[in-house]
A = this chain, B = another copy of it.
Amino acid sequence: MKKFIGDPQHVVRDALVGLEKSAEQVRVDHEHRIVYRAHPKPEGRVALVSGGGSGHEPLHAGFVGEGMLDAACAGEMFTSPTPDQVAEATATADRGAGVLHIVKNYTGDVMNFEMAAELAGSVRVETVVTEDDVAVEDSTFTAGRRGVGVTVLLEKIAGAAAEEGHDLDAVAALARRVAAGGRSLGIALTSGTVPSVGKPTFDLPDDEMEVGIGIHGEPGRRRVPLAPAPEVARMLVEPILDDLDMTGAPVIAMLNGMGATPLIELQLMYGEVAPLLERAGVTVARTLVGNYITSLDMAGCSLTLLRADDEILRLWDAPVNTAGLRWGA
């Protein structure tokens, strides 16, 4: 295991120190492992709280800031945050207008955010669960589909709506619309390594890749021989378009790196994905290429397509100022 770490048991703690030192947008409650905005939004606005296991940076803590999240709970590596932790974040982030919980569909996350909503007492909480991974139903840690890339897009879009002053019901309805319109698929070339484990999560032969990989290394649909980028692009695009019609609406496309794949390969992959989408009649209105929801040092990528509309595009374009996503602010 070759990593820039100190004590393998304390990587999350140590990374939060560096995040706080480097990102002016946030402050960190180190005791509870909660990342808050450095400058909380005004009273009377809906707050957005997310979180999950660590190892997917910049998700979620890197998306705390103006126009996106109000707080993010960092679980241990690939481990759900605790109900107490989420309840604390919910109570602190609330500005009197209620809190939207944004939860990726993993059994532990769903359960712990649910308990946190109960613990939050007088704070009104609505919840949106993302479940956009078309690869498999009922994975290792999940009933139903796993929540992956659309979470990034949802946090941006719902964050912009909350910033504009929409009420909790409206922000939650919008978030559910985004969750319903998003689909993703991932492909791994190598496994990531959890520092406290010290060896790769799974074995993948040098001449194979895994189609439909989960962001914690959960098994995908199948292992196939390494293929050139044009074929990989088809393996990413076709299952998504088979699952949801993406024509007749503007689409937001994210080609995401899993952590150890360099940008030049992501750019190249998007160059293969784009013409497939064009040929299928899909109109890509906005694009994001880079590392946004990762799996430690896994080499691989995922494609997320979101069936959008004019309102969603407007909210997408609104200013955002976070460590992981920033424009117009």
A residues touching B (Cβ–Cβ < 8 Å)? 2-7, 11, 14-19, 21-24, 54-55, 57-58, 62, 189-190, 192, 206, 209, 226, 228-230, 232, 255, 259-272, 274, 287-289, 291, 294, 296-297, 299, 301, 321, 323, 326-329
Contact = CB atoms under 8 A, between A and B. Distances in A.
B18 A272 contact: yes
A264 B270 CA distance: 24
Contacts of A270: 18, 21-22
A272 B11 CA distance: 12
A17 B273 CA distance: 11
20 contacts: A2-B209, A2-B299, A4-B189, A6-B230, A6-B272, A11-B268, A16-B267, A18-B270, A19-B267, A21-B274, A23-B289, A58-B263, A192-B262, A259-B262, A260-B297, A260-B299, A263-B291, A297-B299, A326-B326, A327-B327
Contact of A263 (B57, B209, B264): B57
Contacts of A54: 264
A282 to B, nearest CB: 13
Determine the main DSSP class of A at the interface with B. Answer: mixed
Nearest to A12: B264
Nearest to A300: B4
A114 B289 CA distance: 34
B14 A268 contact: yes
Contact of A274 (B18, B62, B262): B18
Contact of A268 (B4, B260, B267, B328): B4
